[in-house]
Amino acid sequence: MKHIKVGILGFGTVGAGVADCLLKNRVVISRRIGVDIELTGIGDLDTTSDRGVSIPSGILTDETESVIAKSDIVVELIGGTTVSRKFILSALKQGKAVVTANKALLADYGPELFAAAEAGGGTICYEASVGGGIPIIKALREGFVGNRINRIYGILNGTCNYILTRMEREGLGFEEVLKDAQRLGYAEANPSLDIDGFDTAHKAVILASLAYGGWHTTDEIYVQGIRDVSLLDIRFAEDLGYKIKLLGIIKQNADFRTEVRVHPTLIPAHAPLAGISDVFNGVMVNGDFVGDTLFYGRGAGRAATASAVVSDIADAALNLAQGIQQRIPAYRKSVESSGMVSMDEIVTGYYLRMLVDDRPGVLAQVASILSNRKISVSRLVQPDDSDKDGRVTIVAVTHETRESEMQAAVNDLEHIDAMYGKVCVLRMEEI
């Protein structure tokens, strides 16, 4: 039986989970894949704290480069984009197989890392970078190889999904649920990476590259988080037969340009994705032959992420045992994407919420502005009685409209004298 040595860089929550799995299930894994995988080194600056994992003596060290040198497979679980990038490049230049869960690093430096892997004869596996324990990377890279991918919709951030779920179920405001999420450990002390949509954007970039080739940075895509989603919007959406989810949306148009965007989205309440709640993730992939598929599971956490990392370690070990490091390329060099669709060009449905003076003619004025912009309205309603200041909420739901036309209409609406504040604009997808 071929013997493969594994080194882990970073002994935090996930690193400890991976070490625990490799040590406890070494025999099980070797029987399943016919390769013996041995954990031979763990590199971390902190060599004294108890992580709740019993490891053999001599494995944990602060000499990270020595761990890389003696390993066949290097598992990067440090996080960030500076030190982790340095160590991954070092490993790849030595021809090592690299396993990482680092979505931010891949999103920002993917082409550089894949080029280094090719030049050094190594490879990069990154199943745990998207969806935690959900095997979505392998599905896109291998399982759907015979399909053209029509579209991907992803609930890719457990923190946001937890917040929106509790707002919906319990009628709580955003700030109240966020504080609770921080107390429970679902949200960081500085939660901006999650709630402002950038974590989802990193993952969407990775999925888009697998689906369509090419590599687009997060700077090229539209990103909007959930800070401005109010309880009022969640209630109105429910009355209209929808739920609000933070989605990563990935599509390709007829001229092979790729559409990637991240924003709160109204989706039909009966859609499978609408039923994914709390900290769980879900990814819906539609292929031209396979049709709709849905992947569901824990998107983060020590055990789920460790499971995905170990599956990559097993894949890399099998490749090394057969002497074929790059059996299936981690990145498609034959680019199928001919560029990006700008946000102004996207076409989708819209939900608009407006606060206006409760007086005759205002509803007609709103309808006229939308009509003048050739925006077809499916529903235009005044859900509530006026408040103590004589103001009333109007909600409009439109048919599919070009983004540029909608933004122009919103600008017109915000300039009528009966309007208070900004118009709340949320996009809709009829999944």
In the three-class reduction of DSSP (H, G, I as helix; E, B as strand; rest coil), residue 9 is classed as strand
Residue 73: CA count within 13 A, CB half-sphere: 30
- Name residues whose C-beta falls within 8 Å of residue 219's C-beta, 6 or more positions apart in sequence: none
CB 187 within 8 A of CB 178: yes
Rounded-to-10 torsion of CA 286, 289, 291, 293: -70
Distance CA 8, CA 14 (A): 10
Concerning whether 203 is annotated as a catalytic residue, the answer is yes
Q: In the 8-state DSSP scheme, what is residue 375? A: P
Residue the block writes with tokens 């050739």: 374
Distance CA 163, CA 279 (A): 9
- The token duo for 214 is 């090419």
Residue 38 belongs to what H/E stretch?
strand 35-43
Active-site annotation holder among 96, 103, 138, 203:
203
Distance CA 308, CA 129 (A): 9
CA terminus-to-terminus distance, the chain: 48
Give, in degrees to the nearest 5, the angle at Cα 248 between 160 and 126.
Answer: 95
Q: Please count the other Cβ atoms lying within 10 Å of the Cβ belonging to residue 242.
A: 24
CB 147 within 8 A of CB 288: yes
Residue 196 main-chain phi, psi, to 5 deg: -90, 5
Nearest to 70 by CA among 99, 35, 42: 42
List, by residue number, the catalytic residues.
203
